[in-house]
Structure 1
Amino acid sequence: MKNYSNVLIQDCKDDLVPIPLEYFSVQNPHPYKKLGATYKNKSPYYLRSRVLEALQNVQNCLQTEYGGWKLHIFDAYRPIEVQQFMVDYTFSYLIKEKKLTLRELSILEKKKILNQVYKIWAIPSEDYTSPPPHSTGAAIDLTLVDCKGNLLDMGCEIDDLSEKSQPFYYSQSNNSEAKAYNRRRGILNKVMSNYGFLRHPNEWWHFSQGDQMWAWQSNKKVAYYGRV
C-alpha cells in the first residue's frame, strides 16, 4: 500500500466545499468530534467540488434504483491534525484493550501496535507529496441506509480493526447473514464505482476519486488532488 504515496500530484485546484447534508444520512454529533477532534473552520462533511458532484449522482442512483436507499456519510475531509488525533486515540485504545501501559511497552511493542493502527489510519504525514487520502478532500467513508433510514448491516462497523474490514471477507461464506453482508458491500461498491470512485483495497467503506490512491489503483501517472 505504500506505493500509492509515490504518485505525482498535480492538484486541479477544485474548491473544498460543504456537502449538502439534507440529501444524505449522517450521524450527529460526528463520531470523531464526539471524541474531541477539532476541525477549525471546516467540518468532516466537506469534499472537493467535482467529487461531491459524483457523490450526488451516486445518491440519485440509489434513490431510483434501490427503493429510496441513501448513502450514510461517516467521514470525508480530515485535516492532518484530526488524522493525528485519531492515530493517537486508536493507539491508546489498543494499549488499554491489551491491558498494558505506555511505560511498559518496548520500542518493538510500540512499533507493532502502531503497525496495527496504520492498517486503517494513514500516516498523518506533513509532507505535501504524500498526504493522507482524507486530507485531500477526495476520499470518503460511507455506508448505506434503507428507505426508512435504518443503517444496513455490513458485517462490521466502519473503522473496525479486524479482518472483517476486508471488502471480500464474507465472499466465500455460505451463511445467509454473511451472504447478505457481502451482497450489500457489493451494491455499495457497484454504485460508487459506476460514478468514478474506487474502493480502498482493505476497507469496504472507504472510497476515493482523484487522490493518490485512486490514481495508483487506476494506473494513472498523476493524482488530481493533494493536501488541502
Structure 2
Amino acid sequence: MSKPYQIIPISECGEQLVAITSDICRIAPHPYMALGAPYGDRSPFFIRQGILEKLQKSQAYLQTLRPNWQIAVFDAYRPIPVQQFMVDYSFTQLAESKGLSIENLTKEQKESLMMEVIKFWAIPSDDPKTPPPHSTGAAIDVTLYRAPSQGEDSIQEINMGSPIDEISDRSLPDYFADSLDIKEREFHRDRQLLNQVMTHSGFQRHPNEWWHFSYGDQLWAWISNENSAMYGGVK
C-alpha cells in the first residue's frame, strides 16, 4: 500500500514546529480532538516555521482578491498515533456507510475498504523514510471563510461542494469543473481560488483532496519534480 511519493529521499532541514499565529483563522473545536484522537500534549495547530510564513503570504494574497475572505485551517500537525486513529475511524465510518459490520468483514472487503481509505489518508508509518505528510508539519488542510454580512453574527464557511475528509469522488479538486449547474460551478470557482492563493506562495495541492496543501514534504517534492524533500517526520 505504498504511495509513489514515498520513494523521494528526505534531507531534513531541522526547522522547528511553531504555533499557527492568531492572524490565521483556526477551526474550533478541532475536529479530530473532538473525536478523542490521542494528541497528548501536542497541538494540531502547529506547523514548520517556513510553512507558517507561506500561509501568511497566501492569506495576504487572498485579501487582495477577496478582502472579506480568509483562509481557515482545519488541521495541521498530526502525530503518528493520531494518523492511525483517524485511519481506523475512517475505515469504520466507511464500512458502516456501506451497511457492513466491522466484525464480519471478509478479507476482500477489508482490502477494498482500505484501498478507498488510503486514497485520502496517508499510511500511518513510523518509518522515518516514509512519514505521513501531516506528521512532518509541512501539510495543512484548509478551507475558506468570509466575514459576516449584515444580519450575520459570525464568520461564514464557504461551501466548497463537499466536506473536508469525505471519502468520495466529490473530494477530487476538479470534480465540479464540467458541471452545468450554477451552484456546482461556484464550488469549482472557489476551489480554484483556494488553489490559486495557496500555490501563490509555493504550496502544492494533493491530487485527490481540494483542501490539502503542502510544501517541502515528499508529496510536494513528487508533484514538483524535486529530487528530495526538506521536511521529514516530527515526533
Provide, for residues 114-155 of structure 1, a one-character-per-residue CA deviation record: whole Å limited to 9, x for no partner: 111111111101111011000000000000011222111111
Which residues of 2 match residues 19-168 of structure 1 at below 5 A?
Answer: 19-20=20-21, 22-148=22-148, 149-168=155-174
Aligned to 1:15: 16
SS at match of 1:177: helix
SS at match of 2:157: coil
Instruction: State the alpha-carbon separation in 2 of the partners of residues 68 and 103 from structure 1.
Output: 49
SS at match of 1:23: coil
> TM-score of the superposition, structure 1-length normalised?
0.96
**Does the CA contact (< 8 Å) of 1:69 and 1:147 recur in 2?**
yes
Aligned to 2:195: 189
Superposed displacement of residue 50, structure 1: 0.5
**Does the CA contact (< 8 Å) of 1:62 and 1:68 recur in 2?**
no
Instruction: State the alpha-carbon separation in 1 of the partners of residues 232 and 208 from structure 2.
Output: 21
Instruction: State the alpha-carbon separation in 1 of the partners of residues 103 and 160 from structure 2.
Output: 37
Superposed displacement of residue 100, structure 1: 2.3
SS at match of 2:197: helix
Superposed displacement of residue 62, structure 1: 1.7
Instruction: State the alpha-carbon separation in 1 of the partners of residues 96 and 207 from structure 2.
Output: 28
The worse-fitting range, judged by mean Cα deviation, of 22-31 and 71-80 is 22-31
**Does the CA contact (< 8 Å) of 1:67 and 1:147 recur in 2?**
no
Q: How many residues align?
A: 227
RMSD across aligned positions (CA): 1.1
Gapped regions of structure 2 (runs ≥ 5): 149-154
Instruction: State the alpha-carbon separation in 2 of the partners of residues 80 and 143 from structure 1.
Output: 23
Q: Percent identity?
A: 48
> TM-score of the superposition, structure 2-length normalised?
0.94
Superposed displacement of residue 64, structure 1: 3.1
Aligned to 2:204: 198
Which residues of 2 match residues 172-183 of structure 1 at below 5 A?
Answer: 172-183=178-189
Superposed displacement of residue 175, structure 1: 1.0
